[in-house]
């Protein structure tokens, strides 16, 4: 049971890590890698921004390795929480929001529609300044309200 709680806690904590990384790294000194993501049209299959998937995958891989190296430990479940968040991020960000894969084109789910609205607001800024809505799975409630 404790391992399930660790995995869930890490998954939830990753939203905080993502928010901070997006605001202070991607829109800061890592703008070189993130900038192409804010351009109106993708240039090819991959973006420089995709390098951040590798950055987040490395700790997860290392935690899986060290969490099973000599015995099964809690480190494995920390890595699992990071992996689960990475999968959710991919499905929400690349599949649902940016439609890089045409899997979930038509959704009427209010939560998913709110996520799309918030991300659209984030992308209205083409530069690294004046950004907003840096989270991925938890965004301000105002984006979930129906338009009048």
Place of tokens 């997006």: 22
Residue 118 located in a structural domain: no
pTM > 0.85: yes or no: no
Residue 71 located in a structural domain: yes
Place of tokens 């015995």: 71
Residue 131 located in a structural domain: no
Residue 122 located in a structural domain: no
Residue 140 located in a structural domain: no
* pLDDT-derived band at 97, boundaries 50, 70, 90: confident
The pLDDT assigned to 148 comes to 39
Q: How many domains does the chain have?
A: 1
DSSP 87-121: HHHIIIIIIIIS-SSTTS-----HHHHHHHHHHHH
**Which residue range is the domain that position 64 belongs to?**
2-107
Residue 92 located in a structural domain: yes
Cα gap 144→54, rounded to integer Å = 31
Residues 28-63 pLDDT 10s: 898 888 887 877 665 667 788 888 888 889 999 999
């Amino acid at each position: 049971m404790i391992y399930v709680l660790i995995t869930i806690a890490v998954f939830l904590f990753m939203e905080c890590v993502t928010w901070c990384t997006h605001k202070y790294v991607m829109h800061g000194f890592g703008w070189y890698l993130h900038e192409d993501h804010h351009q109106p049209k993708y240039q090819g299959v991959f973006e420089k921004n995709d390098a951040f998937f590798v950055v987040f995958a490395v700790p997860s891989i290392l935690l899986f390795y060290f969490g099973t190296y000599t015995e099964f430990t809690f480190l494995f479940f920390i890595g699992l929480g990071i992996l689960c968040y990475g999968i959710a991020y991919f499905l929400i960000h690349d599949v649902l929001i940016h439609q890089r894969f045409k899997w979930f084109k038509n959704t009427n789910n209010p939560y998913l529609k709110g996520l799309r609205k918030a991300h659209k607001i984030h992308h209205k800024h083409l530069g690294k300044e004046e950004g907003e809505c840096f989270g991925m799975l938890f965004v301000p409630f105002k984006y979930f309200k129906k338009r009048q």
